[in-house]
Structure 1
Amino acid sequence: MELYLYSFTFKRGGAGFAADKFKILAKKLKFEPVLGISQDNASSFQFFKRLISFFLSKFLVDNNPIKHSLNLFSCNSVLKAFKDTEALHHIHWINNDTLSIFDFNKIPKGAIITLHDEWLYCGAEHCYDVNDNFFYFINGYKFFKKEWNGFNWNYIIWKIKFNKLSKRRDLIFTVPSNWMLERAKKSLILKNADVRLLPNPIDTKLFRPMKDEKRFFDIDRTQFEFGKDEFIICFGAIVGINNYYKGSKLLEEAMNILRNSIDKEKSKKIKILTFGGKKEEASIKNGFETFSIGHINKPQQLVTLYSNVDCVIVPSLVESFGQVAAEALACETPVICFDCSGLRDIVKDGVTGLLAKKYDANDLALKIEIMFKKDALERLQLGQNGRKHIVKNFSFEVIQNKYGDILNDALILARDSK
């Protein structure tokens, strides 16, 4: 049967890469053809529409530094594909004006909508403000809120989504983590909807341990070599390490605390490798020698990187899933992160890595120190546990079975809704 998959892009970003993997799974499930609809080759006019939405979004200041999307316009190729009522439709990340909020009523019956962040059940923000305890996505957004300045797009966008989606019973929604499942089911928009857990698939045949005895890296013509007794910490984000919610500021604070808590001679053994930001020359930051690789586009280079560091730190304030953490564990490298959001599904404290108290830089520093003091065999055990956990819960084979069940249910729903 014909299957359409929709995403702003299939070529970059966590959501885009995840959507592309579901294309692979759909083909394994014998769907034919599998058609990807995106803006990867969109016209300049479509880009102009995106600019209008982006400009208008700046009239709201709500103190939440995360990306905001209005989605005032649709990509014509999406609306054209929606007219194929004989096919199944799987909608992924449709922001950047891939699908307009005004066209949500045109989503075909029986469609699957996968949430890669919180935008669908929130206002204009892609992640609800971690410092806000009003939980408007649960209780309903207000038009007047003194803490927000300018035009209240959060209320307008939320209200339109609520009107278009809250009463639809002919759609299946999926989320990648138990944390998002709980929040989505509590939200006013989706509380009566069919919301299911469907984690992002991890290619455990690609992401596997590839240890190099010399600990030599050659990534994008940048070479690094480390001694066996050095402790290498890796921190990175596919979309850029300077993203507020990726927690770079808390990591910097934790490293400053760590510098003052351990012996100076021992601290010289600690090296930091970062990726996702700008490529820079080696330097001393927070008292530790730091190497910046820059953006990594080839998965095999990530495998090399994850496999040859001692731990990966994911200090994110929010992760809908935790792609970096999952890939690192698949390569048998333990992970340190905060005890929050979707990362709880990935990292099991003391089993596959270490969990720090939520947003606590002091505890994050303590967990890094604990990992540093473990011997190589202890870290290897954490890594091996981590790979077993990823293979058991997030491998292609496991997620393919879950995806197949959801596609079958969507097919039945589409037929019954006609």
Structure 2
Amino acid sequence: MKILIINNSFWNFFNFRMNLISEIKKNIKSDIHLVAPPDYYFDKLKTNKNFTCYPLNFNPNSTNFISNFTLLFRLYQLTRKIRPDVILSFTIKPNIYGGYISRILKIPIINNISGLGSVFIKKNLMTSFTHFLYKLSFSRNNYIFFQNPHDMNEFKVSGLLNNSRYDVIPGSGIDTKEWQSSSKENKGNNILFCARLIRDKGINEFLNAARIIKGKYPKIQFNVVGQLGVKNKTSIERKILDGYIDDKIINYMGESSNMKKIIDNNDIVVLPSYREGMSRFLLESASMRKPIITTNVPGCKDIVKDSFNGFLCAPKNIEDLALKIDKMINLSESERMQYGKNGRKLMIENFEEKKVISRYLAAMQDI
């Protein structure tokens, strides 16, 4: 079986899809082809003999008609050349354009709706246009996996799923054996935010809440990990971040390739995102027994049960976020440790990666 997998970065393949690809190779006699824009991880993966890598230049955030039409044409040419038996796609553009090509060439496709992105948060004309593009791309050839039931319901209500098969999986899942903590204590002194530094991830709320908490508890350390200068309309400016660094409100650690160590070195995890598919960072943190503060929105509230393994706060609400951080700090150490244990139990019961991979394998054999 020839399998074409389309993604928006080789970074995504390297960090989130390697176990899936390995299990496909192990369980299905297959010839696997990976397509994404070239990046640092393309060079890491291109020598791997388990699959073939194809660099395809495109900007996931571009709305330019010519560049998008060019992308569609080049992806069509590449797909005709590979002649896959099935296509897997991840993220918005690969889902939509992969769907078009699937319809034209009559190739079955498995889409993964890993989050609806900024365009669905704002609910504007672009949201309606994206709905239209998705509707054109979905057909009877599609098997669609959503990462949370809220996104699936939004697509159902919008009439986008009439001809397709669909189901919910718990994100990319988490390998709970790999993501374990070695920490034996939780003093509540180190608080971690990790995401792209864009407004939709709640970075502004986090920074402002950190200033409030720092004024009350000067010894609390707020650590920020994530890419700055992202090509996104909601990306924050460097000078804003520098102001908080200069005032000693936060410790900016840049990007990291060792999230396991960083999570392990922190006591509390915070992600005040406006919406997620199923936050990988929160899955990793819960598996490593960290109490979590996140927003009561899709893709976050699916991971955190309020007052069980963390606290839910209102989205876009600095005061409520600061209140929940204050509350978490003032729990006893044993209570924070129990929250962490509860979170890991949730991951083992509901989010184990092997369960997610088995769903893909079943869909590929069924489609």
TM-score surpassing 0.5? Answer: yes
* Aligned partner of residue 304 in structure 1, secondary structure: helix
Tell me the residue number matched to 1:147. none
CA separation of 1:190/1:72 partners in 2, compared to 1, >3 Å: closer, same or farther? farther
1:127 and 2:87 are equivalent in the alignment: no
Tell me the residue number matched to 2:201. 246
Structure 2: distance between partners of 1:336 and 1:130:
20
Q: Pairwise mapping of residues 13-412 of structure 1 onto structure 2 (< 5 A)?
A: 17-40=15-38, 47=57, 50=58, 54=62, 56=64, 70=68, 72-74=70-72, 76=74, 79-82=77-80, 87-93=85-91, 95=93, 99=97, 103=101, 105-106=103-104, 108-118=106-116, 126-132=117-123, 141=128, 155=129, 158-165=131-138, 168-198=139-169, 199-211=171-183, 231-237=189-195, 240-241=196-197, 243-259=198-214, 262=216, 267-277=217-227, 289-297=249-257, 301-410=258-367
Give the letter aligned to residue 88 of structure 1. Answer: V
Structure 1: distance between partners of 2:301 and 2:84:
39
Give the letter aligned to residue 6 of structure 1. Answer: I
Q: Please, what TM-score do these two structures have when normalized by structure 1?
A: 0.70
Structure 2: distance between partners of 1:407 and 1:97:
16
Give the letter aligned to residue 199 of structure 2. Answer: Y
Structure 1: distance between partners of 2:261 and 2:29:
33
CA separation of 1:368/1:286 partners in 2, compared to 1, >3 Å: closer, same or farther? farther
Q: Is the 8 A contact 1:175 1:181 kept in 2?
A: yes
Structure 1: distance between partners of 2:353 and 2:179:
12
Structure 1: distance between partners of 2:308 and 2:63:
46
Structure 2: distance between partners of 1:108 and 1:20:
27
CA separation of 1:396/1:107 partners in 2, compared to 1, >3 Å: closer, same or farther? farther
* Aligned partner of residue 89 in structure 1, secondary structure: strand
* Aligned partner of residue 25 in structure 1, secondary structure: helix
In structure 1, the gaps of 5 or more residues are: 59-68, 119-125, 142-154, 214-227, 411-418
Tell me the residue number matched to 1:415. none
Q: Is the 8 A contact 2:143 2:166 kept in 1?
A: yes
Structure 2: distance between partners of 1:282 and 1:399:
40
Q: Please, what TM-score do these two structures have when normalized by structure 2?
A: 0.79
CA separation of 1:43/1:36 partners in 2, compared to 1, >3 Å: closer, same or farther? closer
* Aligned partner of residue 259 in structure 2, secondary structure: helix
Root mean square deviation of aligned Cα: 3.7
CA separation of 1:333/1:283 partners in 2, compared to 1, >3 Å: closer, same or farther? farther
In structure 2, the gaps of 5 or more residues are: 43-52, 230-237
Give the letter aligned to residue 5 of structure 1. Answer: I
Q: Is the 8 A contact 2:223 2:252 kept in 1?
A: yes
Deviation sequence 1:325-375 (CA, Å, 0-9, x none)? 111111111110011011121111111111112322211111101110012
Percent identity over paired residues: 19
Deviation at 1:190, TM superposition (A): 2.5
* Aligned partner of residue 296 in structure 1, secondary structure: coil
* Aligned partner of residue 370 in structure 1, secondary structure: helix
Deviation at 1:158, TM superposition (A): 4.9
CA separation of 1:103/1:408 partners in 2, compared to 1, >3 Å: closer, same or farther? closer
CA separation of 1:102/1:182 partners in 2, compared to 1, >3 Å: closer, same or farther? closer
- Number of residues of Structure 1 aligned to a counterpart in Structure 2: 343
* Aligned partner of residue 233 in structure 1, secondary structure: strand
Q: Is the 8 A contact 2:99 2:109 kept in 1?
A: no
* Aligned partner of residue 119 in structure 2, secondary structure: coil
Deviation at 1:6, TM superposition (A): 1.9
For the pair shown, the structure with the greater C-alpha radius of gyration is 1
Deviation sequence 1:187-238 (CA, Å, 0-9, x none)? 233344222112212122221112278xxxxxxxxxxxxxx8561000111x
Structure 1: distance between partners of 2:107 and 2:94:
23
Give the letter aligned to residue 397 of structure 1. Answer: K
